[in-house]
Amino acid sequence: MKGIILAGGTATRLFPLTATPSKQLLPIYDRQMIFYPLNTLIKAGIKDILIIVAPDHSGQFLNLLGSIFEKYGIRLAFKVQKIPKGLADAFILGEDFIDQDSVTMILGDNIFEDDFSEQIKNFKSGGHVFARKVPDPERSGVVQFDNQNRVIKIEEKPKKWISDYAITGLYIYDNKVVEAAKNVKPSERGEIEITSLHNYYLKLGELEVSTFEGVWLDAGTFDSLLEANKIVKEKEIYKNFDPKIDEAIKKFNEELKVITKKGLL
């Protein structure tokens, strides 16, 4: 299993906060946002992770993460996405990285209270996505179930209500996803929608949709960023990190203090 974190884009909804740093490098309580999706993948045992970044912020990610996990056998690779083309574009950019393996992709601004390690470790083939009941499903891809809890339809930002269950930013796919993404026609928004990939696997009868009730945070606006910080502290989500991440951050901070001190002498 490989891992991808999509951390590109311009994050215009968070201007001027993102005029200099990447959105995914903004703080969520005691650490940068990017460590939360990294935790989801690392806790599941994934050791090869591709981080897709915007051109203006590539150096920032390298400075923070370039060698931070080397001693733990976790290999981070980076790929620049020059123009955001939609979430499904990540699988095309990551084609060589994915190779013949399955892949778990998580959006760089998504924070989960739940631990999905077992679902990721036990994945065999097809696709597996995760849905949660939300008050504003029209902002996301939405899944509709029948009376037997079977998936009937998945629609991107539907204009008419079909369900309260939104597809969250965590996706597990086998390597068929690369060719499937290449064949997706851009939507009216001009993007390669990931909903098209969900529907591709749904038509094959190979899509599993799991629901969950724990906190799901999408820190993409001023209000949601503030809420994410508050909830992460109140629910102590910051304490649920893989020990390797906590140790790596601690060591990075110690090294940075030494370098800074030397620079002041």
**Residue 262 confidence class, pLDDT cut points 50, 70, 90:** confident
Q: Which of the listed CATH numbers 3.90.550.10, 3.30.450.20, 3.80.10.10, 3.30.470.30 matches domain 2-124+169-175+206-264?
A: 3.90.550.10
Q: Is the pLDDT of residue 265 over 80?
A: no
Do 176 and 91 form a contact (C-beta atoms < 8 A)? Answer: no
**Residue 145 confidence class, pLDDT cut points 50, 70, 90:** very high
The predicted pLDDT at position 154 comes to 97
Mean pLDDT of the 195-222 span: 96
CA angle 76, 82, 88 (to 5 degrees): 70
Q: Is the pLDDT of residue 264 over 70?
A: no
Task: Kindly report the backbone phi and psi dihedral angles of residue 208, in degrees, each rounded to the nearest multiple of 5, phi listed first.
Answer: -110, 135
How far apart (Å, rounded) are the C-alpha atoms in residues 5 and 79?
10
- Name the average pLDDT for the chain: 95
- The model's pTM is 0.95
Side chain identity, residue 262: K
CA angle 175, 127, 216 (to 5 degrees): 120
How far apart (Å, rounded) are the C-alpha atoms in residues 168 and 142?
9
Q: Is the pLDDT of residue 190 over 90?
A: no
How many of the other CB atoms lie within 10 Å of CB of 185?
A: 7
Mean pLDDT of the 155-160 span: 93
How far apart (Å, rounded) are the C-alpha atoms in residues 69 and 248?
6
How far apart (Å, rounded) are the C-alpha atoms in residues 15 and 21?
10
Q: What is the pLDDT of residues 87-139, one digit of tens each?
A: 999 999 999 999 999 999 999 999 999 999 999 999 999 999 999 999 999 88
Task: Kindly report the backbone phi and psi dihedral angles of residue 107, in degrees, each rounded to the nearest multiple of 5, phi listed first.
Answer: -75, 140
Residue written as token pair 């969900």 = 198
The predicted pLDDT at position 10 comes to 76
Domain ranges of the chain: 2-124+169-175+206-264
Side chain identity, residue 211: T
The predicted pLDDT at position 11 comes to 77
**Residue 223 confidence class, pLDDT cut points 50, 70, 90:** very high
